[in-house]
Chains A and B, each alone.
Chain A
């Protein structure tokens, strides 16, 4: 009984893992092939079925007609994503704290309406925003620049940060802030000295979402840039020309996935250490 269960469980896990990992293995194997190995039927195992070549990987770090140069788009992506995420996280956390602790009112607009306003930015299909963003960036001369992308990404990531953090602050009892103020903090002091240290788990989750959405965005990176400023997702797609260099493409894809995978592993460790347990009462 117990044995059967174990066997079934592991079979299922194995099947699922294969399903998830297979594309990565395929990309890994493809990144070491040459043109011949890619086009002549399905082959997976290096040395046995094909002679590995590092041509794909090398091409990423050479510029000119032979190479693709991943370094610049990678740094661009990192700059845009990290800057926008950090700013969104700071602004979003402050906004969320205000919305979770104070009642705001402007005519018929209340806290819940403001919260919805933030979230509604993500409900709209991106295509609706593309033209306004394009026009606005052109107006301030920020098309095809890092700055322009950072501004747009903040607009995209801020709702996520606000959303996650409102929920998180909602789970921290108001008594904690009140206690801090009784103990002599100003409202800002209560937030910085008591609430923020208690919010690490929420900040990590919000930050992770910001990084994922920022890093993976293709649509705005594509519509708001031309040639000067290229982000990773756009650079990958631009490889797809008349003769697609599958080996470079695979290596490229693996490299662009790596940072998020590392973040996921770190966060997973952090969360399983039990830092999420609030234990206020």
Chain B
């Protein structure tokens, strides 16, 4: 259990990195607080595994420092760091039984055998492996193997952190849901820091206290899920968090104001943006459908997708832009209908060159209602 701090930590798999793109992980300052549950989110190849491997000690970073509770661990061995890690694909010791697999991390650390037996039984019960403890591990099915891998990651109760690198990919959806909850419970009960790598944002949002979003080896934003949802720092985060993703709409400066033709709204022109390319972002959840009659700007329903409780409407605005709307209402609305749109000014995000203008409080479009 430790507070893990990355200070200017970066890594390139090349010998002499020339430019930014040579880095699998661009130098970053980041803190993983002790005891929290984190989700590390990002498209495949963005450096998530690299970051975890640096924390656990499998990869030595090419620059920067790694601190555990203020202690420099940059060059420490994997054993010293006492990190548990679960890989994306099951790794099991084929010559051992399930019980021996689960006991191995404890045996390596010379725990007394009574305590080993107790921990192994406990983890086996937690993961429903009790019945197959005696089975040779190589006989198991793929998802049982992954459960054993997961069990080996959770069997130590004194680890600095548990790093989970997309561990649920090979596990079937129902089990996945239950396991995620169990992981969450373990985190709550033991106060062990957990970092769950995933590219499934709903998994990230439901698991984590804090979400870290990465892209191209760069940390884009980190914070509580609600914050990332409400105030994505850039268009990528907006696009990556939320389903369907953030609507990005054209912004046209005019009359000293910034207009959104598709929604019929305008806000005060942000200062100091110079020649930035400006755009609006609005969550599909934040667009309300109203009657066409009145002054609301119109759109035509092009498609309706029923998600059970909610529906996702694909609309074509008068400007030709596509807008997605997510709503629990309007069950009768079908494709081809014309409908009006209404958005609260406070829900409108303004991006300059793809970056959110202001960090949430400094620039609020709602201050000057148009």
The answer to whether A and B belong to the same complex is yes
Nearest-neighbour CB distance to chain B for A200, whole angstroms, equals 8
Among the listed B89, B93, B109, which residue makes an inter-chain contact with A184, where contact means beta carbons less than 8 Å apart?
B109
A185-B108 contact given A175-B87, A178-B58, A179-B87, CB 8 Å threshold = yes
A281 & B152 in contact (Cβ 8 Å cutoff): no
Question: Which residue from chain A places its CB closest to the CB of B109 in the assembled complex?
Answer: A184
B85 at the interface (CB under 8 A from A): yes
Q: Provide the residues of chain A in CB contact with B145, threshold 8 Å.
A: 281
Complex: A70 Cα to B149 Cα, angstroms: 56
For the complex, give the distance between the alpha carbons of A197 and B104 in Å: 14
Check if A170 is an interface residue, CB within 8 A of chain B.
Answer: no
How distant is A144 from chain B, measured CB to nearest CB, in Å?
44
Q: Which residues of B contact A184 (CB under 8 A)?
A: 78-79, 82, 105, 108-109
Q: Which residue of A lies closest to B140 (CB)?
A: A279
Given contacts A198-B95, A280-B92, contact A185 B79 (CB under 8 A): yes
Residue of A183, A193, A197, A281 near B89 (CB, 8 A) is A281
Q: Tell me the bound Cα distance from A214 to B48 in angstroms.
A: 50
The B106-150 residues at the A interface (CB cut-off 8 A) are 108-109, 138, 142, 145, 149
A271 to B87, CA, bound (A): 30
Query: Which B residues lie within 8 Å of A180 (CB)?
Result: 93, 104
* A189: Cβ under 8 A from any B Cβ: yes
- Residue-wise, chain B 72-110 has the 8 Å CB interface mask toward A (1 for contact) of 000001110011110101111111000000001100110
Interface size class of A (residues with CB under 8 A): 20 to 34
Asked if A183 and B90 make an inter-chain contact with CB atoms under 8 angstroms apart, the answer reads no
Q: Would you call B234 an interface residue if the criterion is a C-beta within 8 Å of the partner chain's C-beta atoms?
A: no
Task: Indicate if A126 sits at the interface (CB-CB under 8 A).
Answer: no
Would B152 and A183 count as touching, CB distance under 8 A? yes
> Are B87 and A181 interface neighbours, CB within 8 A?
no
Q: Judge whether A182 and B142 touch: CB under 8 Å.
A: no
Q: A184-B79, A186-B79 are in contact. Are A179 and B91 (CB under 8 A)?
A: yes
**B314: Cβ under 8 A from any A Cβ:** no
B279 → A minimal CB distance (Å) = 43
A194 close to chain B: CB less than 8 A = yes
In whole angstroms, what is the CA distance A176 to B91 when docked? 6
| List of A residues within 8 angstroms of B94 by Cβ | 198, 278-280
A186 contacts across to B, CB distance below 8 A: 77, 79
Question: A194-B93, A280-B94 given as contacts; is B138 within 8 A of A183 (CB)?
Answer: no
- Does B56 belong to the interface (CB within 8 Å)? yes
Complex Cα distance A183/B108, Å? 7
Report the number of A-B residue pairs with Cβ-Cβ less than 8 Å. Answer: 62
Q: Which residues of A contact B108 (CB under 8 A)?
A: 183-185, 189, 193
Contact B95 A183, beta carbon cutoff 8 Å: no
- Chain A residues with Cβ below 8 Å from B87 are 175, 178-179
Interface presence of A259 (CB below 8 A): no
The answer to whether A182 and B90 have CB atoms under 8 Å apart is no
| Complex Cα spacing A40 to B52, Å | 82
Interchain CB contact under 8 A, B95 and A182: no
The answer on a CB contact under 8 Å between B138 and A279 is yes
| Bound CA span A176–B94, Å | 10
On whether A182 and B83 interact (CB within 8 A), knowing A189-B108, A279-B138, A281-B142, the answer reads yes
| Interface members, chain A 148-197 (any B CB < 8 Å) | 173, 175-176, 178-186, 189, 193-194, 197
Set B84, B91, B104, B105: member contacting A280, Cβ < 8 A = B91
Nearest CB in chain A to that of B85: its residue: A182
Q: Are B104 and A183 in contact (CB under 8 A)?
A: yes
Given the known interface contacts A182-B83, A184-B105, the answer about A175 and B91 at a Cβ–Cβ threshold of 8 Å is yes
Nearest CB in chain A: distance from B275 CB, A: 47
Closest residue of chain A to B94, judged by CB? A279
Q: Nearest Cβ distance between residue B92 and chain A, in whole angstroms?
A: 7
Q: Are B89 and A175 in touch, CB under 8 angstroms?
A: yes
Taking the nearest CB of chain A, how far is it from the CB of B27, in angstroms? 23
Closest CB in chain B relative to A198 CB, distance in Å: 6
CB-nearest residue of chain B to A281? B89
Nearest CB in chain B: distance from A187 CB, A: 9
Chain A's closest residue to B77 (CB) is A186
Inter-chain contacts of B84 with A (CB < 8 A): 182
How far is B77's CA from A186's CA once the two chains are assembled, in angstroms? Answer: 8
B91 touches A181 (CB 8 A): no
Contact: B95 with A197, CB < 8 Å?
yes
Partner of A183 from B58, B77, B105 at Cβ < 8 Å: B105
Complex Cα gap A198–B91 (Å): 13
Task: Say how far A275's CB is from chain B's closest CB, in angstroms.
Answer: 10
Interface string of B148-160 (1 = CB under 8 A from A): 0100100000000
> 6 A–B contact pairs at CB < 8 A?
A179-B149, A180-B93, A184-B82, A193-B108, A194-B93, A198-B94
